[in-house]
Structures are given as C-alpha cells and as structure tokens.
C-alpha cells in the first residue's frame, strides 16, 4: 500500500516546482511565481500551526489530568505521613483508586499514564515488587 502524500508535502512540491521551473507551459493563471511561492509558504505555515495548537477538548483533558495528578500526589503524601516512614512501601494504582473521592469511576488504565508522567517529573518513585508496581511520593 502506498503512503498517502500530505498537504504539507504537496505544497512543498508545488513551491519547489515554481521556484525551479516557474509556471509550467499550458497553465493559465494571473498569479506570478512569487505570489504562488508566498501562498504555498502561507499554507505550509498554517498546516504547521494547526498541527501544534491543542484543541479546546485537548486543553480541558490536560487540565483535568493535571488536577487528577495533583490529587494522586496528595493521596500518596497523606498515605506516607499516615504510616511510619520505614513501613510505607508505596501504593498500587488499585489502592489509590480505593481511597475514593475524586477517584470514583477512574480506572487503572487512566491512572497509569498519569503516574508515568509524575515519575518522569520526579514527584513519585515507582517501586516494582515482583509483578506489582507501587508508587511512593518523593518528598
């Protein structure tokens, strides 16, 4: 199966053709080569901007996940403070969900990438105990 050419690639090809050859014979247009080149550059820029700008739904989802991540971190900190430091060896995702509150209706599949980001940011550490992954707040 052939790879489908993208609009960005097509505009790049058009710009390259007009830059090197000019307007091909037999093509009737009132535009000059410079106008066509600037138009293709504008279209390429618009496509690039469109690809990098998050949608309203994506922004809302990011904000919700950030709030959830903060709640998870606070839950881990509270659990760590409730236990003695040496006894606390982390909580599984299921344990975190069982604490209730904001976690009602949240699945481990939803929490897993949030925990991965928290671990990458250095807020939590992941402890693998046999096949179970546990998380502990880094304070």
Rounded Cα–Cα distance for residues 97 and 81 (Å):
18
Rounded Cα–Cα distance for residues 9 and 12 (Å):
5
Buried b (16+ CB within 10 A) or exposed e, 74-106: ebbbebbeeeeeeebebbbbeebbebeeebeeb
Q: What is the pLDDT along the chain (139 residues), one digit of tens a residue?
A: 678 888 999 999 999 998 988 887 888 888 888 999 999 999 999 888 876 777 888 888 888 888 888 988 888 888 888 776 567 778 888 888 888 777 888 888 988 999 899 889 889 888 887 888 888 888 7
Q: Which residue has the tokens 């105990």?
A: 129
The answer to whether the predicted template modeling score (pTM) of the entire model surpasses 0.85 is no
Q: Which two tokens stand for residue 76?
A: 């881990």
């Amino acid at each position: 199966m052939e790879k489908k050419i993208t609009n960005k690639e097509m505009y790049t090809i058009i710009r390259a053709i007009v830059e090197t050859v000019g307007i091909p014979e037999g093509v009737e247009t009132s535009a000059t080569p410079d106008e066509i080149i600037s138009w293709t550059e504008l279209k390429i820029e618009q496509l690039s901007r469109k690809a990098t700008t998050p949608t309203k739904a994506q922004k809302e989802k990011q904000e919700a996940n950030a709030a959830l991540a903060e709640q998870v971190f606070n839950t881990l900190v509270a659990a760590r403070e409730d236990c003695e430091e040496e006894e606390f060896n982390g909580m599984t995702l299921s344990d975190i969900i069982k604490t209730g509150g904001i976690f009602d209706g949240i699945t481990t599949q939803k929490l897993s990438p949030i925990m991965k980001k928290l671990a990458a940011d250095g807020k939590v550490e992941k402890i693998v105990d046999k096949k179970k992954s546990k998380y502990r707040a880094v304070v």
